[in-house]
Structure 1
Amino acid sequence: MNLIDHLEDRLGRIMHGWSRHPNGRPMPFKVAECGGGRLPGINTYVTVGLSETHLPSRVSDKGVHQELMIAVPAELADGPYPVILQEIGLDLIREETALLRGDVVGPFGPMAEGSGLESFYASIPVHHDDRFAEVEPGADGREFPIVLTWLIPISRSESDFVSRHGWDDFESEMEKQDPDLFDLHRADLVLKP
């Protein structure tokens, strides 16, 4: 299955796309907004074409071909998410490094008016079935798998916790406390100092 079919199968039809930065320059990849998929009321912004760049891992000899995604409530979807994905993707290309599970990027400012969430935590897209996280080489002639990386909005205190305690502890806390990770106005997790 090609990347677009894989994305639209879970995330819904592509409704909008961006191929230029707000300053007008063409981008080396696109950003698409999908809606009406398997998660009712959720719109997802996703890079398309970032995976054409081989990004080295900082922790192994492996290279990663990845696309990044941000999922938000449809009623709050008119936000800075395409530009944020463009900036993160350009940084990865410039720094020649993949975004790995447990990495934190930002802060970018509040994700929505009145939101305390301002950074992103890189994770696997657990809100879909296991087969969604990786797009296998397919009929489109691509010889490499594509990893989908979900960028979860987090607060400053959550970002600080990841820095001090690591991603294993943070994901354990998320599992225990079970916050609504699509809620841009959710309360911070209750975390040990």
Structure 2
Amino acid sequence: MTRVSDHDAPGLVEHLERALGPIRTGWAVAPDGAKTPFQIVRFAGGSGAGSVAYSTLGLSRRVLPSPTSDLRIRQELLMLAPDALEPDDVASLLLQVGEMAIRMGRALLRGDVIGPAGALVPGSDLTALYVTMPTYFPDEFATYSDDDGTIVIAWLVPITDSEADYVSNHGWDAFEDRLSEQDPDLVDFHRTAMTL
């Protein structure tokens, strides 16, 4: 992917940078050389020491319908990862998920599971992504409003096969109860599965 430094959403960028630190690098070209429909950016910080945040930037220009209501949603996708993880791997995951949402023609909602589809990164037992609110940050970080309306920040959390099955069988609220009880490190791409 080719690094980029320009962006066309200064208010949104400021909102993200207040919580995540300055943008350090970005991607606007896919591995095959095609221009991407939105950028991926990597910030200086994350949710704590040793973590770094990645986000789509420009996905929110696409207004996507909710699959469960009449709402039309603008959103950007967020991932948190260990600083040592290969940046291109995380950027590629975000690009794939954002492009999938555009192809499906629908917004990603809290409780959605993408996958399982094999190890997210080499050597990991995490095979799927769970969509939720960015709970590692203050509540006001979860949305940004501009002249065109509200943009929702959706956090993509890496999860295991068994955790994905649990969401499918018991619902997202029960799964988030387990997250609260067991408090796994959701930034760790090599964590073990929760006890469910």
Q: What TM-score, normalized to structure 2?
A: 0.90
1:118 positional shift: 1.5
CA contact (8 A) 2:46 2:80 kept: no
Letter in structure 2 aligned against 1:188: A
Q: CA RMSD in A?
A: 1.5
Pairwise mapping of residues 1-193 of structure 1 onto structure 2 (< 5 A)?
A: 2-36=11-45, 39-137=48-146, 142-191=147-196
1:181 positional shift: 0.8
Residues 5-50 of structure 1 deviation map (CA, whole Å, 9 limit, x = unaligned): 0111111111111111111111111000112356222111100000
Residues 131-184 of structure 1 deviation map (CA, whole Å, 9 limit, x = unaligned): 0000122xxxx3211100000000011001111111011001111111111112
Structure 1 residues 79 and 24 mapped into 2: Cα distance closer, same or farther (>3 Å)? closer
Runs of 4+ in 1 over 2 A off after TM superposition: 36-40, 106-114
Alpha-carbon distance in 2 for matches of 1:45, 1:148: 12
Alpha-carbon distance in 1 for matches of 2:22, 2:46: 7
Residues 106-149 of structure 1 deviation map (CA, whole Å, 9 limit, x = unaligned): 23432333321111000000000000000122xxxx32111000
Alpha-carbon distance in 1 for matches of 2:122, 2:23: 25
Alpha-carbon distance in 2 for matches of 1:70, 1:158: 18
Letter in structure 2 aligned against 1:167: W
1:83 positional shift: 1.3
SS of 2:121's equivalent in the other structure is coil
Residues 67-99 of structure 1 deviation map (CA, whole Å, 9 limit, x = unaligned): 001101111243511111111111111111000
CA contact (8 A) 1:153 1:184 kept: yes
Alpha-carbon distance in 2 for matches of 1:104, 1:79: 22
In the alignment, structure 1 segments of 5+ residues that lack a partner are none
Alpha-carbon distance in 1 for matches of 2:177, 2:55: 26
Alpha-carbon distance in 2 for matches of 1:107, 1:20: 26
Alpha-carbon distance in 2 for matches of 1:180, 1:70: 13
Alpha-carbon distance in 1 for matches of 2:117, 2:93: 8
